Structure formats: structure tokens, C-alpha cells
Amino acid sequence: MFRIEGCGGIEVHVGSIVPYLIESGAELYLITRNIPGQARTEHKARLNVYRVPYLPSRLLRTFSFNLFAFPISIYLTFRYRIALIHANDFVSGLFGALAARIARRPLVLSAPTFGSKQPEWPTIARICLLAFETLSLGEADKIFLFTPRDIEYAEKRLKLDRRKIELLGNGIDTARFDLAKTAPPEELGLPKNHSTKVIMFVGRLTKSKGLEVLLDAFKTLTERLDAFLVLIGDGPQRDALLRKAAESNIADHVFFAGKRTDVERLLGLADVFVLPSLYEGFPIALLEAMAAKRAIVATNVGAVPAIIRNGINGILVNSGNAEELSDAIARLLTDEEKRLRISEEAYRTVRERYSWRDIGEKVYEAYSSLVRSPH
């Protein structure tokens, strides 16, 4: 079961590896969310897409999608003799595990994040997510996790067989950023022909992204430097962040650009890219900023410390520390030579280490191994 449409990290991940899986010889049956204006089914060469309804409620969206997808997955598995089932989050993993048991097929589980660790979810939701995580991990024949810390957690706390687990992560298409033309600043509400330094964040506006801390850090920064802060993305914390910016008397320097799908055009406007997360998986937004040759300040959570070498291709700070975050941003904004050196090294890192092709081939190798093995 795949989710391939949307703006989230897992949607980008799946959509990016699909071409390489097909190129390697796989025939895919993908179940995703229904989007108004698109056909319920779509069939191309070795790619079959089935779109199902879901409830729009934030708490029920993923669960309802999987509930509707479950009977379709059973039907497709038997009708087309599908060799294995691949679930791409823990809720899908629970339903995928049931489908795999019924159909007696191997299960591949890709899990970018552990929802039970994310601070924005209510306690009851986190308890349910922990149950989904434990059950789906226990049933999976192959597990792809996205951070070294998650692998350690799965092995030591959940007592999983390390031989089933592999680090996967995300990739980036650097050519998309090489060819991009930078948008005019007024497209984001910035003054035309301004000379003020720009700090940029890209991602969902949720508690786990640490944006309240970023606003605190930015307020401190504006007391010594002239700068703009641009937040690209949308989410449930938007109104609270707008209020906080107004209460902190920085609203005239903070720009909420909303959800965008053309970040390759927008990142060129930034002098520094900031990822202030309290919790992360393997952030694609970070790879995008590196591909755009931006200097990075990021918190040392999730896979970030495995991507960023402190002082080499970015600056790492402790999560939740507004003063440390503000100081790190200020050091880059006031040291152009260091900023350019870090941005060039960041670009070199993503070109050499983070290829969607490599990730697609790793997933296909897992498919091949499971299909060959008796279950």
C-alpha cells in the first residue's frame, strides 16, 4: 500500500522511487488518497494507481484512508497475484500486516517517523500509534527505517531482529535545483530590490517543527541584525504563529508564504535555511535547501546529524534552545565567506550521497530477496 499524492515527506519519497522500481522491472499496484478532479483508477506501463476516499479530519485522515484501502488491497493481491505488500507508514503497516497474513505474502514496511514520539499528537493518539508501530514492526519481513536513532530504538526497546532492518532515508534530484530560476522577492511579499538578509523555513507548521522556538530566536536576532523570516508551508499551528509574531512585535519582518510546490524557485531568496525541529525523520526539506546551495542551521534531531557535519556543510544546534539557534543564524548572516563555504559543501554532499536512484534500487533489491525466499 503506497501513498503517492500529497505534499508530505512520505508522498514525495514514494513518488520519487516509483520510476526506478518500474525501471528495475517491478509492476506496481499503488493505493493512494482520492484527489478531486483525478480518476479513481489509472493504468500506465507497469503502474496501476487506485485512489480511495478518506475522512478529512486530521486525526482520522490516515486511519480512514487505510480502512478504505484495506479491502482493495486484498482484492488486488489475489486478483493479480501480487508478490508482496509494501506499507509506507505505521498505520498502513497495521493494515498491510493483516492483508499480508490473509494473502500469505511478505510485508515490507517503510517508516519515516514514529508518530508516537511526535509532540503535536494528543496522548490517546500517541498510545494508538505506539500500538500500530509495535504490531506492524513485529509482522514485517523487511523494515526500512530512516534514522540511525530509530534503528537503535527498534532494536533495543522493541527487541526487533536487526537483520530485518535497514537504513533507507531520502534522496534529491539536484538537477531540478540547478535549472531553477529564483523567484522575484515580491512573490513572497518581500520588498522589491531589498538588501536585507533572509532566513527561510520550509515545512509543515506543526509543533514538532519547533517554530515557536524559531520565532523567539528571530526576535532576539532582530535586536542586533536587520533580517526577514520567511515561513513556507501550512499547518495547524499557522494561526498561533501569526499571533506570536504579532505579540513579539516582529510581524512586519515575518512572512507566511503558505503551501508551495515550487521551493526550488524560492530557496534562492534565502541567505540561511533553518530547520528548528523538535522531532524529525529524514527531512527532505533539508536536502532541498542543500541542493539549492543554501547555508544550513538545523537542530540535531532525527537523521539530521547523519546528514549535517557541524561546521562543514551546516551548523547543528540543540533543539528547543532559542538563544543557541539565534547565535548560529547570526554567525552565518555576518560571515559571508563561511556562509558560502558551507553552502558549497552542502551541495556537494547531496550530489554525492543522496540519490533517488540508489534508494529505489535498494528497495527493489529487498523486493527481489523476499520474493525469492520461502515464507
pTM of the model: 0.90
Question: Would the CATH topology of 9-171+355-372 be identical to that of 174-353?
Answer: yes
Residue 95: HSE in the Cβ half-sphere, 13 Å Cα cutoff: 21
What is the Cα–Cα distance from 101 to 86, expressed in whole angstroms? Answer: 13
Place of cell 501480487: 82
What is the Cα–Cα distance from 354 to 349, expressed in whole angstroms? Answer: 8
Look up the CATH number of domain 174-353: 3.40.50.2000
- Whether 348 has a pLDDT exceeding 70, the answer reads yes
Q: Max Cα separation, the chain? A: 66
- Residue range 304-315, pLDDT digits in tens: 999 999 999 999
What is the Cα–Cα distance from 54 to 41, expressed in whole angstroms? Answer: 16
> How is the chain split into domains, by residue range?
9-171+355-372, 174-353
CA 360, 109, 70, 91 torsion-angle sign: negative
- Residue range 167-191, pLDDT digits in tens: 999 999 999 999 999 999 999 989 8
Look up the CATH number of domain 9-171+355-372: 3.40.50.2000
Mean pLDDT of the chain: 93
- Residue range 6-43, pLDDT digits in tens: 556 888 899 999 999 999 999 999 999 988 888 999 99
What is the Cα–Cα distance from 245 to 248, expressed in whole angstroms? Answer: 5
